[in-house]
């Protein structure tokens, strides 16, 4: 389904779904898996070698852990928040806009 979207629409979806991650984070991998299962297209931004981005996301969210996830421009939080939203059905509503 997503593979048939025009490039500009795919880019718009990517820009609305962002996950700040670390290569060494097991919670990030679990978040990738959950979002992949839901068919969510997202952009990964690694904070490993980007201290400025890491500082910015900490200031923006008030959190010092990864992942930090935005779906449809809405701040979700970390993996625990994502998982709770999935269990409650809220995540499907956010994904579907």
Q: Each residue of 30-46: pLDDT tens digit?
A: 999 999 999 999 999 99
Mean pLDDT on 42-67: 94
Sign for the CA dihedral angle at 86, 90, 94, 95 comes to: positive
Domains of the chain: 7-80 (3.40.30.10)
How many other CB atoms are found less than 10 A from the CB of residue 47?
21
Beta strands in the chain (DSSP E): 18-21, 43-46, 68-71, 74-77
- Please give the Cα distance from 42 to 70 (Å, whole number): 9
Confidence grade of residue 13 (pLDDT, cut at 50, 70, 90): low
pLDDT reported for residue 74: 95
Least confident stretch, 2-6, 43-47, 73-77, 78-82: 2-6
- Residues 48/22, Cβ–Cβ less than 8 Å: yes
On the question of pLDDT at 5 being above 90, the answer is: no
On the question of pLDDT at 15 being above 90, the answer is: no
Q: Which two tokens stand for residue 23?
A: 């290569």
- Residues 4/10, Cβ–Cβ less than 8 Å: no
pLDDT reported for residue 97: 78
pLDDT reported for residue 1: 39
């Amino acid at each position: 389904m997503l593979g048939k979207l025009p490039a500009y629409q795919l880019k718009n979806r990517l820009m609305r779904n962002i996950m700040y991650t670390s290569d060494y984070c097991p919670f990030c991998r679990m978040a990738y898996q959950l979002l992949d299962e839901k068919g969510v297209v997202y952009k990964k931004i690694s904070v490993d070698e980007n201290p400025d981005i890491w500082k910015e996301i900490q200031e923006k969210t008030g959190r010092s852990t990864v992942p930090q996830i935005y779906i449809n421009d809405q701040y979700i939080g970390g993996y625990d928040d994502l998982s709770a939203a999935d269990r409650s059905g809220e995540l499907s509503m956010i994904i579907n806009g």
